[in-house]
Chains A and B, each alone.
Chain A
Amino acid sequence: MNNRNASKVPPKRILIGKHHPARPDKERVEALQTVLRLLVGGVLEGTDELNRRLKAAQAELKTEAVTTTLDPDETELDRLRYALVGALIQTPELVQQGLATANNVSTKATGFVSKVAKPIASSRLMGPARRRYERFVVRGEARLERLLDLGRAEERSGRALVRRTTANGIDELLDYLAQKPEIRALVQQQSLGIADEMMGEIRDRSATADALAERIARAILRRPQREALPEEAASPAEAR
C-alpha cells in the first residue's frame, strides 16, 4: 500500500546545466586559486630544491672514481637490465636530437608552404579572409601576453606563498615539539650528557695538572718525587 502511494510521488527534478544552484561563489574560486597557487609554488620550489640536491650529489659522485668491472656471474637477465638502463639514460639525449631534427624539418616545410601559398594568400580575393585571420592572430597574441604576465606573477606569488607556508609550518612544528614533554626530556638529557662529558674532561685535566704541579714544586725545592699516593684513602661511598 505504502509502496503504491510512494509511486505517486513525482520524481525529484534534477537541475543540470546553467540552472544548477551549486554555482561556485567568489570565495570558493579564490580559495581554489590559492590552493592552485600553493600547488604550483610547491611543485616549482620542490623541483628547484630537488635539482639543486641532485646536482650536488652528482658533483660528489663525479669526484669519486667510477670503474666498471665485468661480473663473471652476469646472467642474460642482468644484461637485459643493463641495456634497458643504458637506453633509459640515453633517451633524453635521443629525444633532444629528434626534436631538433623535427624543428628543422618543420621550419623547412613551413618555408616551402609559405612560398607556394604566398601568391594565393596575398591575392585580393583572399583579402577579407586574410584580415580576419590577422585580427585573430592579434587577439591571440594579446591573450597569450596576458597569460604570460599572469603566469609570471602567479609563479612569483606561488613560490612566496610556499616559502612563507613552509617557514610558518616549521615554526609551528618546532613550537609543537618544544611543548612535547618527551622531546624536552630528550633534549635536556642530551644537554646534560654533554655537560657531564665536559665535566669529566675538566676533572681529568685538573687531576693531571695536580700531579704535574706537585712534580714541578718538588723539583724546584729539590725534594724527592712522590712515588705514589697512599692507597688507603677513604672511599666516598663510605664517607656518606
Chain B
Amino acid sequence: MPPPETVSTQYAGFISRSTAFVIDLLLITLVTFLATTVISVIAQFFDLGLTQITLDDQTTLTPLQALVTLAAGLLQMFLGLVYFLFFWVLVGFTPGMGLLGIRVIRCDQQRLGLGRAIVRYIGYWVALIFLGLGFIWILFDQRRQGWHDKLAGTCVIYFDEEFSLLRK
C-alpha cells in the first residue's frame, strides 16, 4: 500500500475540494440570508403584506412572500455565479479554497479566464445533475479532475507553501 500523500502532492483531492466547496456554500447562504432578512424587514416596515395567512391550520404564503422567496432563490444563484467567477478569475481561489490551501488554474499552467470560469460554473450544474457523479469522478481521475474541470480544462492544486496569513 503506498504511503498517504501529503501537501507536497500537487493535485488537490476530493476531501479538500468538497470541504472548500461547503465553506463557500455556507458563505453564500449567509449573505443571501442577510440580504433576504433586510428585504423582509424593509417590506414589513412599509406594510407590504409579508405577514403569513393561516387557513385551516395550513400556512400559506402571500403573493409578495412567494415573490420574496423566489427572489431569494434567484439571488442565491446569481450570488453564487458572481462569487465563484469573481474569485476564480481575479484571485485564483475562493475563500473556502484559500482556507484549505488550494487554488484553481488552467491545466496548461495559465490563469483562469472569464470564459473558462463560466464553463466551469456550468460544469458544476452538469456534475450535480447526474447525482453528483461529476464530483465523485475526482476520486478516480488521474489528475483528480471533476467533470467541470474536464469541461473547462482546469486543475485544482495545493499551494500551501505560498499562502500565509502573515503575508501582506
User: A and B: partners?
Assistant: yes
Report which A residues bind B (CB closer than 8 A).
189, 192-193, 195-196, 199-200, 202-204, 206-215, 217-218, 221, 223, 225-230, 233-240
In the complex, the chain A residue whose C-beta lies closest to that of B15 is A209
Q: Give the CA-CA distance A235 to B16 in the complex, in Å.
A: 18
A223–B140 CB distance below 8 A: yes
- Identify which of B13, B110, B166 contacts A214 (C-beta below 8 A): B13
A199–B101 CB distance below 8 A: yes
Residues of A with C-beta under 8 A to B99 = 199, 202
- Identify which of B100, B107, B139, B164 contacts A213 (C-beta below 8 A): B139
- Identify which of B16, B101, B108, B140 contacts A217 (C-beta below 8 A): B140
Q: Give the CA-CA distance A200 to B161 in the complex, in Å.
A: 9
Residues of B with C-beta under 8 A to A230 = 11, 142-143
Q: Report how many A-B pairs have Cβ atoms within 8 Å.
A: 118
Q: Does B63 contact A (CB under 8 A)?
A: no
Residues of B with C-beta under 8 A to A203 = 7, 16, 100-101, 158, 160
In the complex, the chain B residue whose C-beta lies closest to that of A235 is B109
Residues of B with C-beta under 8 A to A208 = 4-6
Q: Give the CA-CA distance A235 to B106 in the complex, in Å.
A: 11
Residues of B with C-beta under 8 A to A193 = 166
A207–B140 CB distance below 8 A: no
**9 shortest interchain CB distances as A-B pairs:** A210-B13, A233-B10, A234-B109, A236-B159, A203-B101, A209-B15, A239-B105, A211-B5, A217-B139
Query: With A211-B5, A234-B105, A240-B92 given, is the CB distance from A218 to B11 under 8 Å?
Result: no
Q: Give the CA-CA distance A200 to B8 in the complex, in Å.
A: 12
Known A207-B7, A207-B16, A239-B103; further 16 A-B contacts with Cβ < 8 A: A199-B165, A203-B101, A207-B13, A207-B160, A208-B5, A210-B13, A210-B15, A214-B13, A217-B14, A217-B136, A225-B1, A225-B2, A229-B142, A236-B159, A239-B105, A240-B92
In the complex, the chain B residue whose C-beta lies closest to that of A195 is B165
Smallest CB separation, A224 vs chain B (Å): 10
Residues of A with C-beta under 8 A to B1 = 215, 225
Q: Does B12 contact A (CB under 8 A)?
A: yes
Q: Give the CA-CA distance A69 to B43 in the complex, in Å.
A: 88
Smallest CB separation, A27 vs chain B (Å): 56
Smallest CB separation, B134 vs chain A (Å): 15
Can you sample 9 A-B contacts with CB below 8 Å?
A203-B7, A203-B100, A207-B6, A210-B5, A210-B15, A233-B10, A235-B109, A239-B105, A239-B111
In the complex, the chain A residue whose C-beta lies closest to that of B101 is A203
B13–A211 CB distance below 8 A: yes
